[in-house]
A and B are shown apart, each in its own frame.
Chain A
Protein backbone atom coordinates (compact mmCIF):
# COMPACT_ATOMS: atom_id res chain seq x y z
CA UNK A 1 0.00 0.00 0.00
CA UNK A 2 2.86 2.35 0.62
CA UNK A 3 4.28 1.97 -2.82
CA UNK A 4 1.57 3.76 -4.86
CA UNK A 5 1.45 6.57 -2.34
CA UNK A 6 5.15 7.07 -2.69
CA UNK A 7 4.96 7.02 -6.44
CA UNK A 8 2.20 9.60 -6.48
CA UNK A 9 4.16 11.77 -4.16
CA UNK A 10 7.24 11.51 -6.30
CA UNK A 11 5.47 12.42 -9.53
CA UNK A 12 3.82 15.41 -7.88
CA UNK A 13 7.24 16.60 -6.82
CA UNK A 14 8.81 16.15 -10.20
CA UNK A 15 6.11 18.05 -12.14
CA UNK A 16 5.49 20.81 -9.76
CA UNK A 17 4.06 23.20 -12.38
CA UNK A 18 1.93 20.60 -14.23
CA UNK A 19 -1.51 22.09 -13.27
CA UNK A 20 -0.48 25.32 -14.93
CA UNK A 21 0.69 23.36 -17.96
CA UNK A 22 -2.60 21.57 -18.13
CA UNK A 23 -4.57 24.79 -17.96
CA UNK A 24 -2.40 26.33 -20.63
CA UNK A 25 -2.88 23.27 -22.83
CA UNK A 26 -6.67 23.56 -22.58
CA UNK A 27 -6.68 27.30 -23.18
CA UNK A 28 -4.68 26.78 -26.36
CA UNK A 29 -6.94 23.92 -27.47
CA UNK A 30 -10.04 25.96 -26.75
CA UNK A 31 -8.72 28.90 -28.74
CA UNK A 32 -7.89 26.63 -31.68
CA UNK A 33 -11.32 25.07 -31.46
CA UNK A 34 -13.07 28.44 -31.37
CA UNK A 35 -11.01 29.63 -34.26
CA UNK A 36 -12.06 26.62 -36.35
CA UNK A 37 -15.68 27.11 -35.40
CA UNK A 38 -15.64 30.77 -36.31
CA UNK A 39 -14.12 29.91 -39.67
CA UNK A 40 -16.84 27.31 -40.24
CA UNK A 41 -19.55 29.78 -39.26
CA UNK A 42 -18.11 32.42 -41.58
CA UNK A 43 -18.09 30.08 -44.55
CA UNK A 44 -21.59 28.84 -43.70
CA UNK A 45 -22.92 32.37 -43.61
CA UNK A 46 -21.16 33.25 -46.82
CA UNK A 47 -22.73 30.31 -48.67
CA UNK A 48 -26.18 30.23 -47.09
CA UNK A 49 -27.23 33.75 -46.06
CA UNK A 50 -27.58 34.93 -49.68
CA UNK A 51 -30.49 32.47 -49.98
CA UNK A 52 -32.36 33.93 -47.03
CA UNK A 53 -35.04 35.52 -49.23
CA UNK A 54 -35.63 32.26 -51.08
CA UNK A 55 -35.86 30.38 -47.79
CA UNK A 56 -38.29 32.88 -46.33
CA UNK A 57 -40.41 32.96 -49.48
CA UNK A 58 -40.82 29.18 -49.59
CA UNK A 59 -41.56 28.96 -45.87
CA UNK A 60 -44.14 31.74 -46.11
CA UNK A 61 -45.96 30.02 -48.96
CA UNK A 62 -45.97 26.75 -47.06
CA UNK A 63 -46.97 27.85 -43.57
CA UNK A 64 -48.92 30.96 -44.70
CA UNK A 65 -48.11 32.94 -41.58
CA UNK A 66 -45.30 35.44 -41.10
CA UNK A 67 -44.33 34.53 -37.54
CA UNK A 68 -44.31 30.79 -38.28
CA UNK A 69 -42.36 31.38 -41.48
CA UNK A 70 -39.64 33.24 -39.58
CA UNK A 71 -39.44 30.52 -36.93
CA UNK A 72 -39.21 27.89 -39.63
CA UNK A 73 -36.42 29.73 -41.42
CA UNK A 74 -34.45 30.25 -38.22
CA UNK A 75 -34.80 26.60 -37.27
CA UNK A 76 -33.87 25.56 -40.80
CA UNK A 77 -30.66 27.63 -40.68
CA UNK A 78 -29.72 26.00 -37.38
CA UNK A 79 -30.36 22.56 -38.82
CA UNK A 80 -28.43 23.46 -41.93
CA UNK A 81 -25.48 24.68 -39.89
CA UNK A 82 -25.40 21.46 -37.90
CA UNK A 83 -25.19 19.37 -41.06
CA UNK A 84 -23.12 21.87 -43.03
CA UNK A 85 -20.02 19.70 -42.66
CA UNK A 86 -21.80 17.08 -44.75
CA UNK A 87 -22.75 19.52 -47.49
CA UNK A 88 -20.57 18.84 -50.53
CA UNK A 89 -22.87 19.97 -53.31
CA UNK A 90 -22.56 23.07 -55.40
CA UNK A 91 -26.21 24.09 -55.17
CA UNK A 92 -26.51 25.73 -51.78
CA UNK A 93 -29.91 27.18 -52.53
CA UNK A 94 -31.50 23.82 -53.39
CA UNK A 95 -29.89 22.23 -50.34
CA UNK A 96 -31.16 24.95 -48.02
CA UNK A 97 -34.63 24.90 -49.59
CA UNK A 98 -34.85 21.16 -48.97
CA UNK A 99 -34.23 21.77 -45.28
CA UNK A 100 -36.66 24.71 -45.19
CA UNK A 101 -39.29 22.51 -46.78
CA UNK A 102 -38.78 19.67 -44.31
CA UNK A 103 -38.90 22.08 -41.39
CA UNK A 104 -42.10 23.65 -42.75
CA UNK A 105 -43.75 20.27 -43.04
CA UNK A 106 -42.75 19.41 -39.48
CA UNK A 107 -44.59 22.52 -38.36
CA UNK A 108 -47.59 21.86 -40.60
CA UNK A 109 -47.84 18.34 -39.24
CA UNK A 110 -47.59 19.61 -35.70
CA UNK A 111 -50.43 21.99 -36.42
CA UNK A 112 -52.34 19.09 -37.93
CA UNK A 113 -52.80 20.93 -41.15
CA UNK A 114 -55.14 18.99 -43.34
CA UNK A 115 -53.71 20.13 -46.61
CA UNK A 116 -50.49 18.13 -46.68
CA UNK A 117 -51.67 16.05 -49.58
CA UNK A 118 -54.08 16.79 -52.35
CA UNK A 119 -57.27 16.27 -50.40
CA UNK A 120 -58.71 18.89 -52.61
CA UNK A 121 -62.30 18.74 -53.69
CA UNK A 122 -61.70 18.34 -57.38
CA UNK A 123 -65.39 17.85 -58.15
CA UNK A 124 -66.56 21.11 -56.69
CA UNK A 125 -63.76 23.04 -58.26
CA UNK A 126 -64.07 21.32 -61.59
CA UNK A 127 -67.60 22.31 -62.38
CA UNK A 128 -69.91 25.23 -62.42
CA UNK A 129 -67.84 27.81 -64.23
CA UNK A 130 -66.91 28.57 -67.75
CA UNK A 131 -63.25 29.08 -68.41
CA UNK A 132 -61.91 32.61 -68.77
CA UNK A 133 -59.86 33.70 -71.75
CA UNK A 134 -56.09 34.11 -71.64
CA UNK A 135 -56.62 37.83 -72.15
CA UNK A 136 -58.78 38.06 -69.02
CA UNK A 137 -56.18 36.19 -66.99
CA UNK A 138 -53.44 38.50 -68.23
CA UNK A 139 -55.58 41.50 -67.29
CA UNK A 140 -55.53 40.23 -63.72
CA UNK A 141 -51.87 39.23 -63.74
CA UNK A 142 -50.84 42.35 -61.81
CA UNK A 143 -53.47 41.79 -59.16
CA UNK A 144 -51.16 40.39 -56.49
CA UNK A 145 -53.93 39.93 -53.91
CA UNK A 146 -56.08 37.94 -56.29
CA UNK A 147 -53.27 35.62 -57.25
CA UNK A 148 -51.98 35.29 -53.70
CA UNK A 149 -55.43 34.38 -52.35
CA UNK A 150 -56.05 31.90 -55.13
CA UNK A 151 -52.64 30.29 -54.54
CA UNK A 152 -53.20 30.10 -50.77
CA UNK A 153 -56.30 28.04 -51.48
CA UNK A 154 -54.23 25.28 -53.08
CA UNK A 155 -52.80 22.31 -51.19
CA UNK A 156 -49.24 22.67 -49.88
CA UNK A 157 -47.70 20.47 -52.57
CA UNK A 158 -49.09 22.79 -55.25
CA UNK A 159 -48.08 25.99 -53.47
CA UNK A 160 -44.51 24.85 -53.06
CA UNK A 161 -44.06 23.63 -56.61
CA UNK A 162 -45.45 26.88 -58.06
CA UNK A 163 -43.17 28.96 -55.85
CA UNK A 164 -40.11 26.88 -56.76
CA UNK A 165 -40.81 27.01 -60.47
CA UNK A 166 -42.15 30.52 -60.96
CA UNK A 167 -40.39 32.45 -58.25
CA UNK A 168 -37.08 30.66 -57.90
CA UNK A 169 -36.93 29.66 -61.59
CA UNK A 170 -35.64 26.23 -60.65
CA UNK A 171 -35.38 23.54 -63.31
CA UNK A 172 -37.48 20.37 -63.20
CA UNK A 173 -34.36 18.50 -62.13
CA UNK A 174 -33.67 20.83 -59.21
CA UNK A 175 -37.32 20.71 -58.13
CA UNK A 176 -37.26 16.92 -58.36
CA UNK A 177 -34.23 16.85 -56.03
CA UNK A 178 -35.85 19.15 -53.48
CA UNK A 179 -39.23 17.39 -53.47
CA UNK A 180 -37.67 13.90 -53.77
CA UNK A 181 -39.91 12.94 -56.69
CA UNK A 182 -39.12 11.88 -60.28
CA UNK A 183 -38.85 14.58 -62.94
CA UNK A 184 -41.94 13.18 -64.69
CA UNK A 185 -43.92 13.79 -61.54
CA UNK A 186 -42.65 17.37 -61.39
CA UNK A 187 -44.13 17.91 -64.85
CA UNK A 188 -47.48 16.35 -64.05
CA UNK A 189 -47.74 18.00 -60.65
CA UNK A 190 -46.95 21.41 -62.12
CA UNK A 191 -49.60 20.86 -64.76
CA UNK A 192 -52.16 19.95 -62.11
CA UNK A 193 -51.12 22.87 -59.90
CA UNK A 194 -51.54 25.33 -62.76
CA UNK A 195 -54.85 23.77 -63.72
CA UNK A 196 -56.15 24.10 -60.17
CA UNK A 197 -54.86 27.63 -59.83
CA UNK A 198 -56.61 28.55 -63.03
CA UNK A 199 -59.87 27.18 -61.66
CA UNK A 200 -59.47 29.11 -58.43
CA UNK A 201 -58.66 32.28 -60.36
CA UNK A 202 -61.63 31.74 -62.65
CA UNK A 203 -63.92 31.36 -59.63
CA UNK A 204 -62.62 34.54 -58.10
CA UNK A 205 -62.75 36.55 -61.33
CA UNK A 206 -66.31 35.48 -62.07
CA UNK A 207 -67.34 36.29 -58.48
CA UNK A 208 -65.97 39.80 -58.90
CA UNK A 209 -68.20 40.50 -61.86
Chain B
Protein backbone atom coordinates (compact mmCIF):
# COMPACT_ATOMS: atom_id res chain seq x y z
CA UNK B 1 0.00 0.00 0.00
CA UNK B 2 1.40 3.42 -0.91
CA UNK B 3 1.06 6.79 0.83
CA UNK B 4 -1.83 8.02 -1.30
CA UNK B 5 -3.92 4.93 -0.65
CA UNK B 6 -3.11 5.10 3.04
CA UNK B 7 -4.19 8.74 3.28
CA UNK B 8 -7.43 7.90 1.51
CA UNK B 9 -8.20 5.21 4.04
CA UNK B 10 -6.89 6.86 7.18
CA UNK B 11 -10.28 8.20 8.34
CA UNK B 12 -11.93 4.82 7.99
CA UNK B 13 -8.94 3.27 9.74
CA UNK B 14 -9.14 5.65 12.70
CA UNK B 15 -12.88 5.01 12.89
CA UNK B 16 -12.38 1.27 12.91
CA UNK B 17 -14.46 0.91 9.75
CA UNK B 18 -11.92 -0.92 7.60
CA UNK B 19 -12.06 -4.64 7.02
CA UNK B 20 -9.26 -6.58 8.76
CA UNK B 21 -7.16 -7.04 5.62
CA UNK B 22 -7.17 -3.39 4.59
CA UNK B 23 -6.63 -2.45 8.20
CA UNK B 24 -3.50 -4.61 8.39
CA UNK B 25 -2.18 -3.10 5.19
CA UNK B 26 -2.60 0.41 6.59
CA UNK B 27 -0.86 -0.61 9.79
CA UNK B 28 2.05 -2.11 7.92
CA UNK B 29 2.47 1.07 5.90
CA UNK B 30 2.25 3.28 8.99
CA UNK B 31 5.10 1.33 10.59
CA UNK B 32 7.32 1.97 7.59
CA UNK B 33 6.43 5.57 6.72
CA UNK B 34 7.05 8.36 9.22
CA UNK B 35 5.18 10.91 7.13
CA UNK B 36 1.98 8.88 7.14
CA UNK B 37 2.51 8.02 10.78
CA UNK B 38 2.49 11.75 11.55
CA UNK B 39 -0.66 12.14 9.51
CA UNK B 40 -2.23 9.34 11.50
CA UNK B 41 -1.32 11.00 14.78
CA UNK B 42 -2.80 14.27 13.63
CA UNK B 43 -5.97 12.41 12.73
CA UNK B 44 -6.23 10.68 16.07
CA UNK B 45 -5.67 14.00 17.82
CA UNK B 46 -8.50 15.58 15.81
CA UNK B 47 -10.97 12.79 16.48
CA UNK B 48 -10.15 12.92 20.18
CA UNK B 49 -10.52 16.68 20.25
CA UNK B 50 -13.98 16.47 18.70
CA UNK B 51 -15.14 13.60 20.87
CA UNK B 52 -13.90 15.20 24.06
CA UNK B 53 -14.28 18.88 23.34
CA UNK B 54 -17.51 19.30 21.40
CA UNK B 55 -20.36 19.99 23.84
CA UNK B 56 -23.20 17.46 23.91
CA UNK B 57 -26.48 19.34 24.09
CA UNK B 58 -28.72 17.37 26.43
CA UNK B 59 -32.40 18.12 26.22
CA UNK B 60 -33.66 20.37 29.00
CA UNK B 61 -36.15 18.60 31.30
CA UNK B 62 -39.04 20.85 30.38
CA UNK B 63 -38.72 19.78 26.73
CA UNK B 64 -39.67 16.22 27.65
CA UNK B 65 -42.85 17.44 29.35
CA UNK B 66 -43.62 19.77 26.46
CA UNK B 67 -43.38 16.89 24.02
CA UNK B 68 -45.43 14.52 26.14
CA UNK B 69 -48.25 17.02 26.51
CA UNK B 70 -48.14 17.95 22.81
CA UNK B 71 -48.48 14.27 21.92
CA UNK B 72 -51.57 14.05 24.17
CA UNK B 73 -52.99 17.18 22.61
CA UNK B 74 -52.47 15.62 19.21
CA UNK B 75 -54.45 12.56 20.26
CA UNK B 76 -57.25 14.65 21.73
CA UNK B 77 -57.48 16.74 18.63
CA UNK B 78 -57.56 13.59 16.59
CA UNK B 79 -60.43 12.25 18.69
CA UNK B 80 -62.45 15.41 18.11
CA UNK B 81 -61.85 16.01 14.47
CA UNK B 82 -61.21 12.63 12.93
CA UNK B 83 -59.78 12.66 9.45
CA UNK B 84 -58.34 16.13 9.10
CA UNK B 85 -55.85 15.67 11.91
CA UNK B 86 -52.67 16.17 9.94
CA UNK B 87 -53.43 19.68 8.80
CA UNK B 88 -54.81 20.71 12.14
CA UNK B 89 -51.76 19.44 13.93
CA UNK B 90 -49.44 21.56 11.87
CA UNK B 91 -51.74 24.56 11.99
CA UNK B 92 -52.26 24.35 15.70
CA UNK B 93 -48.61 24.77 16.51
CA UNK B 94 -47.66 27.44 14.09
CA UNK B 95 -50.63 29.66 13.50
CA UNK B 96 -53.16 29.92 16.30
CA UNK B 97 -52.96 33.75 16.37
CA UNK B 98 -53.15 33.99 12.63
CA UNK B 99 -56.43 32.12 12.60
CA UNK B 100 -57.95 34.73 14.91
CA UNK B 101 -56.66 37.52 12.74
CA UNK B 102 -58.22 35.95 9.69
CA UNK B 103 -61.65 35.65 11.26
CA UNK B 104 -61.64 39.39 12.05
CA UNK B 105 -60.72 40.47 8.54
CA UNK B 106 -63.37 41.55 6.04
CA UNK B 107 -63.86 39.07 3.20
CA UNK B 108 -62.70 41.34 0.40
CA UNK B 109 -59.27 41.51 2.06
CA UNK B 110 -59.17 37.76 2.04
CA UNK B 111 -60.09 37.79 -1.65
CA UNK B 112 -57.29 40.20 -2.41
CA UNK B 113 -54.84 38.13 -0.40
CA UNK B 114 -55.94 34.97 -2.21
CA UNK B 115 -55.49 36.69 -5.59
CA UNK B 116 -51.99 37.82 -4.64
CA UNK B 117 -51.04 34.36 -3.42
CA UNK B 118 -52.49 32.72 -6.52
CA UNK B 119 -50.56 35.07 -8.79
CA UNK B 120 -47.37 34.44 -6.87
CA UNK B 121 -47.93 30.70 -7.07
CA UNK B 122 -48.53 30.81 -10.82
CA UNK B 123 -45.49 32.98 -11.45
CA UNK B 124 -43.22 30.89 -9.25
CA UNK B 125 -44.26 27.61 -10.88
CA UNK B 126 -44.30 28.83 -14.47
CA UNK B 127 -41.18 30.99 -14.50
CA UNK B 128 -38.67 28.19 -13.85
CA UNK B 129 -40.36 26.09 -16.53
CA UNK B 130 -40.07 28.88 -19.03
CA UNK B 131 -36.42 29.32 -18.16
CA UNK B 132 -35.63 25.61 -18.05
CA UNK B 133 -34.77 24.98 -21.73
CA UNK B 134 -32.27 27.82 -21.78
CA UNK B 135 -30.58 26.49 -18.64
CA UNK B 136 -30.19 23.18 -20.47
CA UNK B 137 -28.66 25.00 -23.42
CA UNK B 138 -26.38 26.81 -21.05
CA UNK B 139 -25.27 23.51 -19.57
CA UNK B 140 -24.54 22.12 -23.03
CA UNK B 141 -22.36 25.16 -23.76
CA UNK B 142 -20.56 24.68 -20.46
CA UNK B 143 -20.01 21.00 -21.19
CA UNK B 144 -18.49 21.65 -24.60
CA UNK B 145 -16.32 24.44 -23.24
CA UNK B 146 -15.10 22.16 -20.50
CA UNK B 147 -14.37 19.39 -22.99
CA UNK B 148 -12.46 21.69 -25.32
CA UNK B 149 -10.53 23.27 -22.46
CA UNK B 150 -9.49 19.86 -21.19
CA UNK B 151 -7.96 19.07 -24.59
CA UNK B 152 -6.46 22.49 -25.22
CA UNK B 153 -4.73 23.28 -21.97
CA UNK B 154 -3.06 19.91 -21.70
CA UNK B 155 -5.18 19.32 -18.65
CA UNK B 156 -7.03 16.21 -19.61
CA UNK B 157 -6.54 14.39 -16.34
CA UNK B 158 -5.69 15.21 -12.74
CA UNK B 159 -5.08 11.56 -12.07
CA UNK B 160 -3.75 9.65 -15.04
CA UNK B 161 -4.40 5.97 -14.72
CA UNK B 162 -6.08 3.25 -16.66
CA UNK B 163 -6.86 1.53 -13.39
CA UNK B 164 -10.36 2.21 -12.13
CA UNK B 165 -9.19 1.34 -8.62
CA UNK B 166 -6.78 4.27 -8.69
CA UNK B 167 -9.11 6.78 -10.32
CA UNK B 168 -12.12 6.05 -8.16
CA UNK B 169 -10.58 6.55 -4.69
CA UNK B 170 -8.80 9.65 -5.95
CA UNK B 171 -12.13 11.17 -6.98
CA UNK B 172 -13.98 9.93 -3.90
CA UNK B 173 -11.67 11.87 -1.62
CA UNK B 174 -12.15 15.08 -3.55
CA UNK B 175 -15.89 14.97 -4.10
CA UNK B 176 -18.86 14.62 -1.81
CA UNK B 177 -20.11 11.62 -3.76
CA UNK B 178 -18.68 8.33 -4.96
CA UNK B 179 -18.67 8.49 -8.74
CA UNK B 180 -18.96 5.17 -10.59
CA UNK B 181 -15.76 4.39 -12.48
CA UNK B 182 -15.45 1.43 -14.85
CA UNK B 183 -12.73 0.48 -17.28
CA UNK B 184 -13.90 -0.27 -20.80
CA UNK B 185 -10.57 -1.19 -22.41
CA UNK B 186 -11.85 -4.51 -23.68
CA UNK B 187 -14.85 -2.75 -25.21
CA UNK B 188 -12.63 -0.32 -27.12
CA UNK B 189 -12.95 2.63 -24.74
CA UNK B 190 -9.86 2.51 -22.50
CA UNK B 191 -9.97 4.63 -19.35
CA UNK B 192 -7.29 7.34 -19.39
CA UNK B 193 -7.89 8.97 -16.05
CA UNK B 194 -10.05 11.34 -14.05
CA UNK B 195 -10.31 15.01 -13.37
CA UNK B 196 -12.24 17.40 -11.16
CA UNK B 197 -14.43 19.87 -12.95
CA UNK B 198 -17.04 22.45 -12.06
CA UNK B 199 -20.39 22.41 -13.81
CA UNK B 200 -23.97 23.35 -13.08
CA UNK B 201 -22.75 25.16 -9.94
CA UNK B 202 -21.15 22.14 -8.36
CA UNK B 203 -17.94 20.12 -8.43
CA UNK B 204 -18.32 17.12 -10.70
CA UNK B 205 -16.26 14.11 -11.67
CA UNK B 206 -14.86 14.04 -15.21
CA UNK B 207 -13.84 10.59 -16.40
CA UNK B 208 -11.71 10.50 -19.51
CA UNK B 209 -11.97 7.65 -22.01
CA UNK B 210 -10.26 7.17 -25.33
CA UNK B 211 -11.77 6.01 -28.61
CA UNK B 212 -9.00 5.43 -31.14
CA UNK B 213 -7.42 8.94 -31.40
CA UNK B 214 -10.37 10.70 -29.83
CA UNK B 215 -11.24 11.47 -26.26
CA UNK B 216 -14.53 11.21 -24.45
CA UNK B 217 -15.18 13.30 -21.37
CA UNK B 218 -17.81 11.72 -19.16
CA UNK B 219 -19.12 14.17 -16.58
CA UNK B 220 -20.82 12.64 -13.57
CA UNK B 221 -22.65 14.14 -10.63
CA UNK B 222 -25.45 13.03 -8.33
CA UNK B 223 -29.05 13.25 -9.44
CA UNK B 224 -31.01 16.05 -7.87
CA UNK B 225 -34.62 15.63 -6.98
CA UNK B 226 -36.47 16.80 -10.08
CA UNK B 227 -34.25 15.94 -12.98
CA UNK B 228 -35.94 14.41 -15.97
CA UNK B 229 -34.88 10.86 -16.56
CA UNK B 230 -34.97 10.93 -20.34
CA UNK B 231 -31.89 10.20 -22.41
CA UNK B 232 -30.90 13.14 -24.59
CA UNK B 233 -28.57 13.45 -27.55
CA UNK B 234 -27.41 16.86 -28.73
CA UNK B 235 -24.98 17.91 -31.45
CA UNK B 236 -23.33 21.30 -31.44
CA UNK B 237 -20.30 22.81 -33.08
CA UNK B 238 -19.24 19.40 -34.31
CA UNK B 239 -19.38 17.86 -30.86
CA UNK B 240 -21.81 15.24 -29.74
CA UNK B 241 -23.33 15.26 -26.31
CA UNK B 242 -25.18 12.37 -24.81
CA UNK B 243 -27.07 12.64 -21.56
CA UNK B 244 -28.52 9.89 -19.43
CA UNK B 245 -29.54 9.37 -15.85
CA UNK B 246 -29.60 6.34 -13.61
CA UNK B 247 -30.94 6.00 -10.09
CA UNK B 248 -28.01 7.86 -8.56
CA UNK B 249 -26.21 9.93 -11.15
CA UNK B 250 -26.44 12.33 -14.05
CA UNK B 251 -24.16 11.51 -16.95
CA UNK B 252 -23.06 13.77 -19.79
CA UNK B 253 -20.70 12.31 -22.35
CA UNK B 254 -19.02 14.84 -24.63
CA UNK B 255 -16.80 14.00 -27.57
CA UNK B 256 -16.04 14.49 -31.23
CA UNK B 257 -16.52 10.79 -31.96
CA UNK B 258 -19.62 9.91 -33.94
CA UNK B 259 -22.90 9.87 -32.14
CA UNK B 260 -23.25 6.14 -32.75
CA UNK B 261 -19.89 5.59 -31.05
CA UNK B 262 -21.14 7.66 -28.17
CA UNK B 263 -24.29 5.56 -27.94
CA UNK B 264 -22.15 2.42 -27.95
CA UNK B 265 -20.04 3.95 -25.19
CA UNK B 266 -23.11 4.58 -23.07
CA UNK B 267 -24.34 1.02 -23.54
CA UNK B 268 -20.97 -0.42 -22.58
CA UNK B 269 -20.69 1.89 -19.59
CA UNK B 270 -24.12 0.99 -18.29
CA UNK B 271 -23.49 -2.67 -19.02
CA UNK B 272 -20.33 -2.61 -16.93
CA UNK B 273 -22.01 -0.79 -14.10
CA UNK B 274 -24.44 -3.63 -13.83
CA UNK B 275 -28.19 -3.48 -13.36
CA UNK B 276 -29.40 -0.24 -11.87
Contacts and interface: CB of A to CB of B under 8 A. Distances in A.
Interface of A: 30, 33-34, 37-38, 41, 44-45, 49, 52-53, 55-57, 60-61, 69-70, 73-75, 77-78, 81-82, 118, 131, 133-135, 137-138, 140-144, 146-148, 151, 157, 162-163, 165-167, 171-172, 181-182, 184-185, 187-192, 194, 197-198, 201
A188 B178 contact: yes
Interface string B17-58: 100000000000000000000100111111111111111111
A190 B151 CA distance: 34
B276 interface: no
A146 B49 CA distance: 10
A134 B172 contact: no
| Interface SS majority for chain B | helix
Contacts of B175: 188
A137 B51 CA distance: 13
B135 interface: no
Contact of B44 (A45, A134, A147, A198): A134
Given A57-B56, A70-B66, 20 more contacts: A49-B67, A60-B57, A74-B66, A74-B93, A78-B93, A81-B71, A137-B46, A138-B49, A140-B53, A142-B53, A167-B56, A172-B15, A185-B176, A187-B12, A188-B175, A190-B11, A192-B176, A194-B43, A198-B46, A201-B49
A141 B172 contact: no
B71 A181 contact: no
Given A41-B72, A74-B70, A134-B41, A141 B53 contact: yes
A46 B267 CA distance: 52
Contacts of B70: 74, 77-78
B54 A151 contact: yes
A187 to B, nearest CB: 5
Contacts of B48: 138, 141
Interface in B158-210: 172-178
6 contacts: A41-B75, A49-B67, A134-B44, A147-B53, A162-B54, A194-B43
A147 B59 contact: no
Contacts of B93: 74-75, 78
Nearest to A75: B93
B74 interface: yes
Contacts of B53: 140-144, 146-148
Given A41-B72, A52-B67, A138 B45 contact: yes
Contacts of A52: 59, 63-64, 67
A35 B208 CA distance: 64
A196 B225 CA distance: 28
Given A37-B75, A185-B178, A194 B59 contact: no
Contacts of B12: 172, 187
Contacts of B10: 191
Given A57-B57, A172-B17, A188 B50 contact: no
